[in-house]
Chains A and B, each alone.
Chain A
Amino acid sequence: MGIEARQARQPWILLSPALTAVTLLLFVPLAFIVVYSFWLRTATGADQAGFYLDNWREALGDAFYRDILLSTLRIAAITTVVCALVGYPAAYFIARSRGNKAILLLLLMLPFWISYIIRTMSWINILGVSGALNWLLQTIGFVDEPVQMLYNETTVILGLVHFLLPFMILNVYVALEGIDVSLEDAACSLGSTRWQAFREVTLPLSLPGLAAGGLLCFVLSAGTYITPLVLGGPRDAMFANLVFEAVITQLNWPLGSALSLMLLAILGSLVLIYNHFLGMGQLMKGLG
């Protein structure tokens, strides 16, 4: 074998273990549940192979599933908008600050290292009946009896915002960091105010970062399973909870496959739209 042929083969040898793993543990299983979603779970608990549309009819047609899907998307949308509004000024401050930028960035990374379940449950200590806020309200005499502030949709959104805010800030920060500061100065020297310069120069240039952060927030909150269980009430189930119910509790795997694929189709198409307009580069920058 010539040296050139060997050179050309080497990268594929290096890539093959990872490519094999992703193929066998992600793409083949996804293809498998596509097929599985057309099978039927019979009353005896056995699977009937074939091409039945029953699961899809149930997943797409049943008002129960539709309502929860819609409320899941609504919660994800609210979470994304709140993260953007809350996170943008903070990202701007970090990008433009001089002395303490390194420490602000390090602090921003810390939440990624703290377990999701701990960050979620930490709100019980704050908002619970015997939590910090109730204690404070009683101490200043604002209320006589502790108030139950937990276990509703608002606390689910609060938990999601708390979890996802660092993703948003980091992505916006990466975009802002890539913008030359002198552009704003130039706009000002040409007669615009600081606010105008920000609105017409910096903000548009930072939109790709905002979009990357928004995509992450939306996809991660729409797929969340734990937050509604820890911070939501019995009526606050989200779509991933339905999938868990179908697959683990009811053991109706064909239906669970159809429900999972529905979620994948919706969130996957968002990723594809994003990729079409902005490419994966921005997203990778924020994640790396």
Chain B
Amino acid sequence: MGWQLVRGWTLLVYLFMFLPVAVVVLLSFNASQFGNFPMTGFSFRWFVELAGNDAILRAFRTSVILGALTAVISTTLGVLASLALVRYNVAGRNLISTFLIAPILVPEVVLAVALLLFLNALSINKSFLLLLMGHVIFTLPFVILVVQARLVGIRRDYEEAAISLGANPVQAFFQITLPLLAPAVFAGMLFAFTISFDDITGTLFWKPGGVETVPTQIFAMLRNSISPEINALGTVMILLTVGLPLLGMAVARRMAMQRGK
């Protein structure tokens, strides 16, 4: 009896989490000009309009470039640091971990203000560079957490075996360690990309005038009112940010299975 109650409650919680998002997707196919209830029919017209909207396409390009650069830089820093933390007995490891996690313990607004004002004092104004540095610093902790979790499972013996069989350390790294690391690197990049792609608070502080990312573009469009076009853009975003990680997980699983053979 009690268990049924908990089950029913959980169902309601999941509905609460997903129903509003499902409505966004549903309404993006609404034929009506005003895009809300009652729906008047099924149509792809808002997606067609999206594809012709220059501001949105520009925002999309900015977000993708920013996310990709963030992913590469953040994952490089994160993988190196995680290797040190997992594979060596570093003095003060806990302190170092906390230090590297600090960017997510500081409220994003505070991080945004501090970075903006400091770099401004160094004559680095609001720019794409500032945006990139900001995105790197707050994705780094997530990358380190994810990559460390993956690294723990990779044993060092393989590398040592290769070296004892005559490989030099560089060969051992590129031929043994790196392929084993690939899933961790991949997971880190995907994570950094998604977080950067979704960020809005820091981005609003750092972005130069006239530059928009997809979230800040949606935010600017919301100033007028919600429109079917925003819902369509939301649907595209959901497809991307949910689809990419799912695809990533599938690829990672496949890579792991091939290694198992």
Contacts and interface: CB of A to CB of B under 8 A. Distances in A.
Given A89-B6, A125-B226, A14 B37 contact: no
Contacts of A107: 14, 17-18
Interface stretch (B51-59, B138-146, B178-186): B138-146
Nearest to B38: A135
A116 B205 contact: no
Report the contact-size class of chain B (Cβ under 8 Å from the partner). 35 or more
Given A111-B17, A122-B21, A226-B200, A32 B84 contact: no
Nearest to A25: B137
Interface residues of A, number: 83
A19 interface: yes
A115 interface: yes
A119 B116 CA distance: 27
B110 to A, nearest CB: 5
A43 interface: no
B174 to A, nearest CB: 16
A14 B81 contact: yes
Nearest to B16: A162
Contacts of A162: 16-17, 20
Interface string A254-288: 00110011011001100100000000100010011
Interface in B1-51: 2, 6-7, 9-10, 13-14, 16-21, 23-24, 27, 34, 36-38
A22 B137 contact: yes
A21 B136 contact: yes
Contact of A225 (B10, B104, B106, B204): B204
B242 interface: yes
Contacts of A124: 222, 226
Contact of B20 (A89, A122, A195): A122
Interface stretch (A60-68, A184-192, A204-212, A243-251): A243-251
Contacts, number: 257
B237 interface: yes
A256 B113 contact: yes
B201 A33 contact: no
Interface string A109-124: 0110111111101111
Contacts of A77: none
Contact of B137 (A26, A33, A224): A26
Nearest to B119: A29
A12 B84 contact: yes
Contact of B80 (A15, A111, A240): A15
B113 A243 contact: yes
Contact of A195 (B2, B102, B111, B149): B2
A98 to B, nearest CB: 12
Contact of B198 (A87, A115, A243, A257): A115
Given A14-B84, A223-B108, A230-B222, 20 more contacts: A14-B81, A18-B78, A19-B100, A21-B77, A22-B140, A25-B103, A33-B118, A36-B121, A116-B198, A116-B200, A117-B219, A118-B24, A132-B23, A219-B107, A223-B110, A224-B201, A244-B204, A248-B205, A267-B107, A268-B105
The list of the 3 closest CB pairs from A to B, nearest first, reads A223-B107, A29-B118, A122-B20
21 contacts: A7-B88, A11-B87, A14-B83, A15-B96, A21-B137, A22-B103, A29-B115, A32-B114, A116-B215, A121-B222, A125-B36, A126-B23, A222-B107, A225-B204, A240-B107, A257-B113, A260-B113, A264-B110, A280-B94, A280-B97, A287-B145
